[in-house]
Amino acid sequence: MGSTSAWILLWSLLGLALAMTAGVLAVRALRGGKRAAQPQVGPGDSAAVKEAQDALRLRYASGAISREDYLQGKVELESDLPAYAPSRPRWQLAAVSPPSCPPPASGYRRPRSAALGAAGQR
């Protein structure tokens, strides 16, 4: 009698597994068979790339980098390939002096606070 109850238990477990598998397949068929797809983020779509593009535009607009450097950075940020080392070392990129400004027009008088300097002396 013990072997009969073991067979009944085995067939019951097999039937339960078959019913669960059929239920999972039915749910997948009703949902279209696809999982909710994660949106694909391209290399130019991430927040870090957009932030880097904004910083690049600001540096170019302020005159901190040349047009050539701007275009090279733009291409590197928009490409799928990883960026390579810049043509100049990083310490030189950070230490770019601002562009020279033309001298003030005649008749322009510098405000007194700027003429005195930080210590209040000429």
pLDDT in tens, 39-73: 555 555 678 888 888 999 999 999 999 999 999 98
Q: pLDDT digit string (tens) for 95-107?
A: 556 566 666 666 6
| Cα dihedral value 26, 31, 34, 39, nearest 10 | -160
More confident residue, 9 or 35: 9
Q: Which residues are CB-neighbours of 43 under 8 A, at least 6 positions away?
A: 49, 78, 79, 80
| Single-letter amino acid code for the residue at 56 | L
pLDDT tens figures, 68-114: 999 998 888 887 655 555 565 555 555 556 566 666 666 666 666 65
Give me the residue spans of the domains in the chain: 47-83
